[in-house]
Structure formats: structure tokens, C-alpha cells
Structure 1
Amino acid sequence: MRKKTAKQTPQTIAELIRIRFDEFKPAERRIANHLLVNYPMAGLVSITELSESCEVSTPTVMRTLKRIGFSSFITFQKTLKKELSKTLADPIAKHSQWATAGAPKEHILNQTADSVVSNLRDTMSQLSHEMFNEVVTLLADQKRNIYLVGGRITYSFSDYLGTHLEVIRKGVDKLPSSVSLWSHRLLDMQRNDVLVIFDVRRYETDLLNIAALAKEKGVEVILFTDQWLSPIADYATHSFPVRIEAPSGWDSGVATLFVIEALIAAVERKLWPKASKRMKELEQAYSYTGRFKQESR
């Protein structure tokens, strides 16, 4: 099945390649696939090495690059290196970038608000309604078990989505933060189950590994990532590349949370007859155990 990714206003070379992929000729697709599978390192070698790796001529490499807007190999590599420096930025480097970039002297609340609005606008402009609906269908299919996992920072997103889904439907499993326990969950995954992964820069090897192993088992992988695309995109059938820029040493999670909450609402609506019954039973259990403070009458 062809991978589904959000409709995009391209901001990275990987996005450009994916958007123009159908226009490439067979030899050009060989180059495009090589660049994507080995992204971004495949593009940092010489043009001769790249052409030899793909078994094509150097003019074919240049024709491919021109299709995505690059007039020279030097320009292509400069753009790729600049992009790579962003994906590798640690919190200290990111803070320094903002501090020296001539950012407005206005209050941080205003800077953050502007950044969040921009991220939401750019994310919305990319989102494919068709792909979103397909993901809703997968998450609402109770014949499939749903597994969720995130990284050091993104674990909170997987936990948030999982906590809501397990109220709406059965068969939801939030993988623990301890990587050593993931192998047990991997054993339980069956063909056509769903694994939702959250991975943004700096991309985590453990998440990449579990995505690859799950894919081998026939599991549908849904990826939440950033505009630079986690390597997990190569294993995902559906990808949400959301915008995460923030005026600080950290990345913003607002746009990611926006997509999550839209998915929760859509899945609940799709499953409402069964979900409402499940919710009532859950409320009865809460009442019995005294989980929440009772309102005074």
C-alpha cells in the first residue's frame, strides 16, 4: 500500500521529493528512493558517489534535482546541510539561534502565541482530510489492537492519546516508558494491529527499531513527527508531519496536540453508540471505587 502523508507546503528536501515523486521517471525514482531511504546522509556524498550508488548517470542525478527545484548539486547540498543542522539542534543551540536571530523584543507570551498560531496554520494547510479519515477508521476498528509509544519528550503525547482511546474502546495498550519492556508488547502485536508512534527531532533509535520490527509483523504504523520527518516515515503507512517551531530551546507540542484532540473527537463520534455504553460502565466503576470526589447535594 502506498504510504500516506499529509498534504504539504514543502519545507524540506524529503517533502519535496515525496510531493514530486509521481513525476519522476524510473531512473529518477531510483535516486529519489535512495535519498529517502538513506536520508539525509545519501545526499551528502559527491554527485559521482550518488550516481554510482543508484547506478545512474550524473546527468540523471541533476535532472532529478532540477525537478525539485535545485539548479546545481552545490545548492542542493547546502540546503540539505542547513536542514540537517536544524534536526540536530539541541536545546542550548536552539536557544542561541533564537537569541541571535534578531527576534522581536516583545514579551515572550506574544512571541510564543505568534509561533503557535503559525504552527497551527501551517499544519492545517498540510493536513489531508482523506488521510485523517483513514487514520480515524483504523483507530476505530475494534478488530485491531492499538499500541502507542513515544520518546523521551513525546511519551506524554502517546499517553494522552492512549488514555482517551482506552475510554472509548477496548484493545488499547500504552507502551511503558521503559524500553526494556517493549519486547513483550512486540510479541503480542498481530498482523493488521496498529502502532502509533510519536518521534520528533532528535529522532530516537529505539523508536525506529520498534517501528521496523512492527512493520515486519504486518502492523500498520501511524507516525506523528515534525516537518523534517523522522526516519520512521519509511515504515509508516500514514504520517502526520506537524510544525513544532518555538521561540526557545525546545519544540512546541501545540500543533501535535491539536491533531491528537481532533482524532479523539472523530474516533469517539464514529464509535459513539458503543463508546457511550462503555463510558457509562466506566463511570459506574469510578463511582463504586470512589475515584472522584462526589458533588455535594
Structure 2
Amino acid sequence: MPPTAAKKTVKQTIQDCLGDLTRSEQQLAHVLLQDYPMAGLQSVTKFASAAGVSTPTVIRMARKLGFDGFPHLQDALRDEVAAQIKRPISKHEDWHTQEADSHPLNRFAESVAENIHYTLERLDRTQFDAVVEQLADQKRRVYVAGGRITRSNADYLFNHLQIIRPNVTQLGGFENVWPQYLLDMDENAILIIFDIRRYESSILRLATLAHERGCRIVLFTDQWGSPVTKVADYVFHALVEVPSSWDSTIAIMLILEALIAEVQRSEWDQSRKRIEELDAMFSTTRLFRTFE
């Protein structure tokens, strides 16, 4: 059987079980979430000391989360780190060694369907609505940036947002000019970032500088979470693993299309005027073929 896309990370398990933990265990959990996953990879004594709790509390929390003990929890964290840094060739070899009992197209489609199902199952609807409200506010400037693989996602979002609202800017692929965009990023701006594993250092630097200027950060990332998570105001996690050397961003695209549709719906009067004006320009320039 191929690796399951549905497997929860330790972070997701903690978030699901947080309400069932004691106050001391919650204190420990918050320390791990704040410096994830590194806080959990140190010795049990140092981990407990960092949270101001006893070592037996660490063991109890690990068991409540479904692990046999703290070493088992650490093994899960190490597996996550290994998965995050996995290279395309390694991913291909992992999937290639699995048994193939159906057509490749079917296997790929099943993986994508699982990714979508579990992404939607864990998606915070309140956060989604908050981002829609932010993007629908035409007084806010919106900036969009993607990485080497996710640049196409950024391009897709930019093309649609630019049609339905003004003041949308896409940061180009030349990182040396990004500081010029940062000049206009403040508390009235939103920076939408895409960053999946192998996380890009330039993206983190951009997000950190924008955050320091008061800009709102919206992050689209994978199930493990980009380092940008630490400075992001809103984070959308999407499952990305498929039987390929490359990760799939289809689950991310689903969230994007829903986001675009809802922003347009919420500001339809203004969006409609822009779309009609744009169509008139297309007709004038004869960009598209007509059949009249």
C-alpha cells in the first residue's frame, strides 16, 4: 500500500487533543507548538524544564496523544523532519517500491482525492471567512508571492484577484527587487505566500520583513508547515503527497478557487463593474475570437 496522505502530524494530533490535556500538559504542548518540532527533539529533561513541568508530565502527555511514550513521540517528529526535507528522487523511489495494483492514473487520482478530503476536514472555516473579509476590503493592498514550484499558484490567484478588485500586486521571481515592494507593506497590506517543502529561505525572509512592518500574512503550505507559520496571521495547511517525485498543489488550488469565488460574491457590485469594463476592453482589442 502507498504511504497514506491521511496520517496526522504530531502538531495536528496536539491541536485535536488540546482540550483533553491538563493545564500542565497544555503548557507543555504550547511550548512544543511554539518551537515545532525542535522543542520536542531535545531530551525529556530539557523539554520539561522549558515548559516548567515535571518529566512525568511529558510522558503522560505523550501517552494521551496516542504514543507509547516520549521516545515514540520523538520518533514521529523525526519522521516528519525527514519527510519535510525529502528530495524528489527519494520520493520517487519510495512510491516506486510500493505495489501497483491499479492503473497509475487511478492511483494518482485516489491520492489527490484523499488529499482534498483530509485538507477540507481540517480546514478552519472561521479562518477562511476572515481571509475572505480581508481580501474583500478594497482599501487593503494585496501582495502575492510563490516559490519555485508554487509560483503557478500565486500567478493563478493574482490573475483572478486583479480582475475582481484593485490594488493587487504579484511579486516577481527576482528576489533582489522584493525589498522595493516591502516599502509599501504596512498594517493596511496583506501578503499572501505559498511555501511547501523544500521550504525556501527567501520566502521566509520576505514574510519576516513584511511581518515586522505590520503587514498581515496569509500562508498556504503543506501538512507539515512552512517556517513562515511562525509569523503568519492565517495559515492554510493542505496535504500534498502523491505517487510522484513532486508534491501536488491540487488541494491548495481548491482552497484558492473557493476563496476567489467568495471574495467575488461578497463584493459583487464592484467586481461586476470591473469584469464588464475588462470585457469591453477585450472586445475592443479583439483578444478573443467571437462567433457572431
TM-score with structure 2 setting the length? 0.91
Q: Which amino acid aligns with 2:38?
A: M
Q: Are the aligned partners of 2:143 and 2:191 in contact in 1 as well (CA < 8 Å)?
A: yes
**2-structure distance, mates of 1:32, 1:295:** 60
**Do structure 1's residue 63 and structure 2's residue 64 form an aligned pair?**
no
> Structure 1 residue 232: deviation in Å?
1.6
Q: Of 76, 81, 84, which residue of structure 2 is paired with 1:79?
A: 76
Partner of 1:95 in structure 2? Answer: 92
* Unpaired segments ≥5 residues, structure 1: 1-8
**What is residue 5 of structure 1 aligned with on the other side?**
none
Distance (Å, rounded) in 1 between the aligned partners of 2:197 and 2:46: 27
Offset at residue 13 of structure 1 (A): 0.9
Matches within 5 A, 1:38-53: 38-53=35-50
Deviation at 1:67, TM superposition (A): 3.6
Contact persistence 1:12–1:227 (CA under 8 A): yes
Confirm whether residue 269 of structure 1 aligns to residue 262 of structure 2. Answer: no
Matching residue's letter, 1:130: T
Residue of structure 2 in register with 1:281 after alignment? 277
Secondary structure of 2:183's aligned partner: helix
Which one-letter code corresponds to 2:75 in the other structure?
A: K
Structure 1 window deviating more from structure 2 (24-33 vs 50-59): it is 24-33
Partner of 1:34: 31
Q: Which residue of 2 aligns with 1:213?
A: 209
* 1:189-208 superposed Cα distances (whole Å, 9 cap, x missing partner): 12032111111111112112
Name the amino acid aligned to 1:63. Answer: R
CA contact (8 A) 2:282 2:288 kept: no
- Shift of residue 178, structure 1, vs aligned partner: 1.4
Tell me the residue number matched to 1:246. Answer: 242
Q: 1:147 to 1:48 in 2, by over 3 A?
A: same
Q: Distance in 2 between matches of 1:260 and 1:132?
A: 10
Shift, 1:62, TM fit = 2.4
Task: Give 5+ residue unaligned stretches, structure 2.
Answer: 1-5
Which 10-residue stretch deviates more, 47-56 or 273-282?
47-56
- Paired with 2:242 and 2:171, the residues of 1 have a C-alpha distance of 28
Percent identity reads 41
Distance (Å, rounded) in 2 between the aligned partners of 1:45 and 1:224:
29
Residue 295, structure 1, aligned to residue 290, structure 2: yes
* Cα distance in 2 for residues equivalent to 1:12 and 1:97: 19
Aligned to 1:168: 164
Per the alignment, do residues 255 and 218 of structure 1 end up closer, same or farther by CA in structure 2, a change over 3 Å counting?
same
The residue aligned with 1:11 is 8
C-alpha deviation, 1:139, in angstroms: 0.9
Question: CA shift at 1:69, angstroms?
Answer: 2.5
TM-superposed deviation, 1:36? 2.3
Q: Could you tell me which residue of structure 1 aligns to residue 3 of structure 2?
A: none
Give TM-score scaled by structure 1 length.
Answer: 0.89
Q: Which has the higher contact order (CA 8 A, sep 6+)?
A: 1
Q: RMSD of the alignment, in Å? A: 1.9
Aligned AA for 1:246? V
Give aligned pairs, total.
287
Give the aligned partner of residue 124 of structure 1. 120
Q: Distance in 1 between matches of 2:7 and 2:136?
A: 30
Amino acid at match of 2:92: H
C-alpha distance 20-105 of structure 1, shift in aligned 2 (>3 A) = closer
Q: Give the Å deviation of 1:25.
A: 5.0
| Secondary structure, aligned partner of 1:240 | strand
Which letter maps to 2:62?
Answer: L
Mapping of residues 107-256 of structure 1, within 5 Å: 107-256=103-252
Q: Which amino acid aligns with 1:231?
A: P
